[in-house]
Chain A
């Protein structure tokens, strides 16, 4: 081992006093890395969770129009032929009034084709009670909070009123009767808004309720794993433009949109928040670097005569500089490693930690309402990890480089004469 590496390591923990000061520097770097890792991972988790949830509930791409799509089968044939598309499923959705006993709610009712939907969205994995297989034209699946709000459970019969029925209002020969549906399932996605205000019926039921005939509101599209969603979306849009008027009846505003585009505002906000938080939390690492630098400057001043001795023993200026700079590097490496360990452990137990804190402070419900998730999501991307590690190491190295330059610039003769 070169002498400057050996001595740099020795000087970091040679005495309890040195070990203490080194420890403070290491912990301050670790604290910065820890905070950066946890905050960026949780923000990344929100972003990823939203994306995952959108893909799980609405497919990778949604094709919608300004009017009802009258011939979904033809549209499906056209879309399914686009390279990269694995499957598509028609849907129709709209607000309805659901009445159970004397408790009304106003959810979005989603009409799906049970035979096709599983190829596009894994709805079964959100079913908590009952089964998706039991869904027929006389039944409904409610979201968990909505079911709890009205007190409905499996087997409950709910009345569903749709806005389309209002068109029959006032006709003497017609009475407005609700559609009675039996609850055959309860689902929970984990997103407060969706779990509070969504219900699922078959596409036929929804078409009846909204007087759609055989029309639908759109298609949900699943693409092959690894394919660029935006590229496939663009390909679909080109195909739709070509097919309309030829193999497809023209529909105004027929347009495919990827999940990324439909959540663009949210994703942009998360990116901005991440950038701001990175900038703010990097200040912690900068402070740690200043702490390390001041520690090493004091060391250089204290070791002035030894620096003269090293020169007398044959050390070059570069080696003397390396001896002090490496101490900053080692503090950075150990601090970063420690910060990553703290960070990953905190992320692993994040939900337990949040529950523990909320148990004392209260507000579990408020947390879910504000953040929409019952569990705190986390996702550490490679780029975030690289940003954190590189920033911490570069700042720590710079913190060591300045005292190192001071040491290297010392005149050996003056250093040896230093009192």
Chain B
């Protein structure tokens, strides 16, 4: 089976005043369907930059990313191919938990009975079936991140990119969220790239990688 994602020789530069900082110095990565990989690294090592390149939110200065063999992931396809989970949840405060999950389907191409049914299933899966009508302000941090995980999975993506999803959560809640995220990815054969500082969470992935001095190495 072909890889969900392949990245070859990714390089990325940032300009800071007169200096040019090379954040990524030739990153290679391949992810098979259903495979999970954790990426650790120091703050500022370029983990988020790498995820943005893998999500086609940014372009590399050199190298290329292919998604199931295709080099072009337009905005619309990105919404269906990639699900993203962020440290700060990024829920839309004007929408209830249910509407936040459904938003992924709305942006991904529209909603119908099937997407409404899937929202209910995801609410059930993340343990928030009774709280679907609650707004983000009425949910705890852990509950918000569960909603964000459900939203990421809404369009049945081939790949989940999670950028320090437990960074704003306490340890126990963080553990629960990681268990949930990995469990759901495994049952749906969704590839997962998890950026984390937490060694225990990183160890739960099938592969653990370290991003150091712009290069990705096995841990």
A residues near B, CB below 8 A? 2-3, 6-7, 10-11, 14-15, 18, 305-306, 308-317, 319, 412-413, 416-417
Contacts and interface: CB of A to CB of B under 8 A. Distances in A.
A316 B76 contact: yes
A129 to B, nearest CB: 68
Contact of A314 (B77, B86, B93): B77
Contacts of A312: 55, 57, 78, 82, 84
B94 interface: yes
A11 B94 contact: yes
B94 A313 contact: no
Query: Considering residues A3, A14, A18, A317, which has the most beta carbons from chain B within 10 angstroms of its beta carbon?
Result: A3
B100 to A, nearest CB: 10
Interface in B89-134: 90, 92-95, 103-104, 106-108, 110
Nearest to B79: A314
Contacts of B52: 413, 416
A312 B81 CA distance: 11
A315 to B, nearest CB: 5
29 contacts: A2-B106, A3-B103, A7-B94, A10-B94, A10-B95, A14-B94, A18-B94, A305-B88, A306-B90, A308-B57, A308-B90, A309-B90, A309-B92, A311-B75, A312-B55, A312-B78, A312-B82, A312-B84, A313-B79, A313-B84, A313-B104, A314-B76, A314-B77, A314-B78, A314-B107, A315-B107, A316-B76, A317-B75, A412-B58
B90 A315 contact: no
Given A2-B106, A306-B90, 17 more contacts: A3-B106, A7-B94, A7-B95, A11-B94, A305-B88, A305-B90, A311-B57, A312-B55, A313-B151, A314-B75, A314-B79, A314-B80, A314-B108, A316-B75, A416-B52, A416-B86, A416-B90
B55 A6 contact: no
A416 B57 contact: yes
Contacts, number: 66
Given A305-B90, A312-B57, A417 B76 contact: no
B48 interface: yes
A16 to B, nearest CB: 12
Contacts of A6: 106
Interface in B157-186: none
Contacts of B110: 2
A412 B57 contact: yes
B57 A313 contact: no
Given A3-B106, A413-B58, A416-B57, A315 B95 contact: no
B95 A313 contact: no
Contacts of A317: 75
A306 B48 CA distance: 17
Nearest to B85: A312
A3 B94 contact: no
Q: Which 9 A-B pairs have CB atoms at the shortest separation, nearest pair first? A: A314-B79, A14-B94, A3-B106, A309-B90, A313-B107, A312-B84, A10-B94, A316-B75, A413-B58
A2 B90 CA distance: 21
A264 B207 CA distance: 89
